Amino acid sequence: MTNPLLTGHGLPPFAEILPEHVEPAIEQLLQTVNAELTELEQNFKPTWTGLIEPADLLGEKLTWAWGIIGHLMGVKNSPELRTAYENSQPAVVQFFMRMGQSQALYQGLKDISAGTDWASMNKAQQRIIEAGIRDAKLSGVGLTGEKSERFNAIQLELAELGNLFSNNVLDATKDFNLDLTDPIDVAGLPPSLLAQAAQASRAGGSEATPESGPWRITLDYPSYVPFMEHSKQRHLREKVYKAFVGRAASGEKDNCGNIEQILILKREMAQILGFDSFAEMSLASKMAPNVAAVEDLLESLRKVSLPAATKERQELQAFAQSQDANFTELMPWDAAFWAERLREQKYDFNDEELRPYFPLEQVLSGLFGLADKLFGIEVTAADGQAPIWHPDVRYFQVKKDGEPIAFFYLDPYSRPGEKRGGAWMDDCVGRAKFTNIEGVRLPVAYLVCNQTPPVDDKPSLMSFGEVETLFHEFGHGLQHMLTTVDYAGCSGIRNVEWDAVELPSQFMENWCYHRSTLLSMGKHYETGEPLPDHYYDKLVAAKNFMSGSAMLRQIHFSWVDIALHHEYVAGAGRTANDLRLDIAKKTTVVLPIPEDRFLCSFGHIFAGGYSAGYYSYKWAEVLSADAFAAFEDAGLDDPQAVQATGRRFRDTVLALGGSEPPAVVFESFRGREPEPTALLRHSGLLAS
């Protein structure tokens, strides 16, 4: 049969790809690449064109096909696709293990680094080769016999467990519905959520209207978050909260055992390679030099944020009691509700008031205008010019000096039935140029969000948090798309240390509070009225509302992650959740409730790339805040200064990719090493 997954290059033909294509395509591709790897191992020359480029090209078709399948698992999940993915995954993992552990290729890399051509290579080429040698060691190239067999068996099992973990979270999220019929039960809910809840109810088979219901509340973020912020029914908030924090923690979808097994296997894998813990193994390829450096950063931020968070909670408790004479103790399901009420009182607005001013199309217009101003790029719609996987998916072209330099997909809306939660950027096609292939292959990015979808006749009206998320993912996309590096091994986000990769994304979030940027994208979807100035002033004033609590939350997650992967020993008398509760004593103001099994849905570290790396958000936020401070220093109201600084950011942080160490790239932009002052100032915590 003609199998679209065998194309091997270009844009994925999504409309043609079916689950039944997966297994035969992967089987055929693996036969080909295994034969090609054998040929390369026997006949390469220890030079750039004799080894590095052929090795890059060798896996291209398989990586292309497997990347598409993995993408569809995230955005168009189905039982049939899961089965095909699970059946194919072991053989794919085995091939990449074989390639990573190839003694011949490893020796070839070492020969190049020790050879006469080394001095004539540029820094990017040298960095790729050095990273290849390091990664081969981390892949187990030095292992033999039983150790090698066990190491490989662990990798296969971890791949399977990560996939199972992710599927359990998706299914557990999808399984919960709270169907409400009594108008009393939806008291306080904003019109946008009532319309969305009625639409969800209609999707379940009812004849619902926003005015009369029934209304369906789910655990998907666009439903869960506004419900927790606005529902006046405390018992319903409690029910929804407990369901959310208890996802995938019981029954057939219980991830508790998977967590323990994942941690056991990761520790064993690291020890086989000679590391004391998986955290040490993880940090071997990151900016942070060791676990102590990570803990020092987290502790320095904890000392500042814990007193602030404690004060914020006391204020929230007092406020709730002042508003409700019967209120006693602030519980976790109360925090978002009363915080929103306090914010309304302090700053005279709530998030729902802003939604009509942030229709997706207008936000995109403002975002693309900012990108042009800062980086000299033109982003235009290219819908209809690329195959898509869902009717809501958009396609865009990026031009510089009138010439196309990149493209990206945008999949903006929540689809809880088939799409995993959260937001992410991924590599569809990476920029590359090969010696024997004409032209430069232009990059294509996937930008995936889970924002509020259009409801009835209204467009997607975004919360301000959803606007920030879009800017965040676009920042990741910019680093992928604006790279000027032509080597496949370090263009865009490739070969960028994990704890630096959040720099561009978190940097872009700062512009959501920039007056001209915010006003350019804030226009009422019905009247075209610009966002009133007083809303901008209130947003800026409220920017650091509860910022101590927000920072402490991230520190808690980061510390739990690093401790689980460094000091925790599964099966030694306490569970991963026990360790989390111990850490919570110093990183939370109130301990988690017994039903809180957040770890069971913590996909970042158990089914994603953030194992022993969740601290990266804070590590990179020091860099991103200091990077934005360069624009503040130059003068945010000076268009020429902003443009000049933006071009410098483009030509360093966004252009250089993984061709140089992140510290060197940052210093090229900033002219000095990073300082944490800007992060504390932006968070309103500098005085602490």
Residues recognised as catalytic:
473
Q: Report the run of H or E that residue 187 belongs to, with start and end.
A: none
Residue 144, classified by CB atoms within 10 Å of its CB into exposed (0-12), middle (13-18) or buried (19+), is exposed
Q: How many CA atoms lie within 13 A of 242 on its CB side?
A: 11
Give me the residues paired with residue 18 across strands.
none
* Greatest extent of the chain over all pairs of C-alpha atoms, in Å: 81
Residue type, 330: L
The structure tokens listed for 311 are 């004060």
Closest CA to 566 of 185, 181, 275: 275
* φ and ψ of 115, to 5 deg: -90, 180
Distance (Å, whole) CA 42 – CA 103? 11
Contacting residues for 506 by C-beta, under 8 A, at least 6 apart: 472, 475, 617, 620, 621, 624, 625
636-638-643-649 Cα dihedral, nearest 10 degrees? -40
β-bridge partners, 403:
400
Q: Residue 39 corresponds to which tokens in the numbers above?
A: 């040929």
CB crowding 418-448: b at 16 or more within 10 Å, else e: bbbbebbbbbbbbbbebeeeeeebbbbbbbb
Among 188, 194, 231, smallest CA distance to 211 is for 194
